[in-house]
């Protein structure tokens, strides 16, 4: 499905005559085609699936307070189980496979060090 989204954004960028829309499409495409985005997408997917299923159950008219509490407790346990090294490695492998399928570079870029501006700093000697 992600390939369809990428194709659609690329099509909009290629066919629109509005410069603002084209710029937004190009920027969005560049953001989505980063490995960091793919990792976030894969890691949030599991959480959102859990939340959606619990949310649907909680919206039923026949649910009582005890069932709701059990569902929320189970949700918490499931989310905590996602925070293991094993699950992270599975998520990273899934993200790497997806990125390779989409021909996206799978190397994480090093964050640039931010320079602290020197202006406004004065050394006064008394």
Nearest to 3 by CA among 36, 38, 27: 38
Q: Does some domain include residue 122?
A: no
Q: What is the model's pTM?
A: 0.69
**Given this model, what pLDDT does residue 37 score?**
92
Same domain assignment for residues 54 and 67:
yes
89 & 71 share domain? yes
Evaluate whether residue 60 is within a structural domain: yes
pLDDT of residue 126: 54
Q: Is 120 left (phi over 0), alpha (psi -120 to 50) or beta?
A: left
49 and 95 fall within a common domain: yes
- What is the signed CA dihedral for 67, 71, 74, 79, rounded to 10 degrees? -170
CA distance 50 to 126: 64
How far is the C-alpha of 38 from the C-alpha of 44, rounded, in Å? 10
Note whether 28 and 39 are same-domain residues. no
Same domain membership, residue 89 and residue 43: yes
Looking at the fold, whether 50 and 71 belong to one and the same domain comes out as yes
Spell out the per-residue pLDDT of the chain, length 126, in tens. Answer: 888 888 899 888 888 888 888 899 989 998 899 999 999 999 999 899 999 999 999 999 999 999 999 999 999 999 999 999 999 999 999 999 999 998 888 887 777 777 777 776 555 555
41 and 58 part of one domain: yes
- For the chain, the domain total comes to 2
Contacts of 29 (CB under 8 A, 6+ apart): 6, 9, 10, 13
> Where in the sequence is the domain holding 11, given as residue range(s)?
1-33
* Element spanning 38, H or E: helix 35-58
Q: Are residues 28 and 40 in the same domain?
A: no
């Amino acid at each position: 499905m992600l390939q369809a989204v990428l194709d659609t954004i690329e099509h909009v960028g290629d066919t629109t005559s509005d410069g603002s829309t084209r710029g937004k499409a190009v920027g969005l495409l560049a953001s989505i085609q980063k490995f960091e985005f793919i990792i976030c997408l894969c890691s949030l997917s599991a959480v959102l699936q859990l939340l959606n299923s619990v949310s649907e159950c909680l919206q039923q008219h026949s649910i009582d307070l005890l069932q709701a509490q059990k569902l929320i407790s189970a949700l918490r346990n499931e989310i905590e189980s996602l925070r293991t090294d094993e699950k992270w490695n599975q998520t990273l492998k899934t993200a790497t496979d997806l990125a390779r399928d989409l021909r996206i570079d799978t190397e994480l870029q090093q964050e640039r060090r931010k320079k602290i501006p020197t202006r406004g700093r004065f050394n006064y000697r008394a």
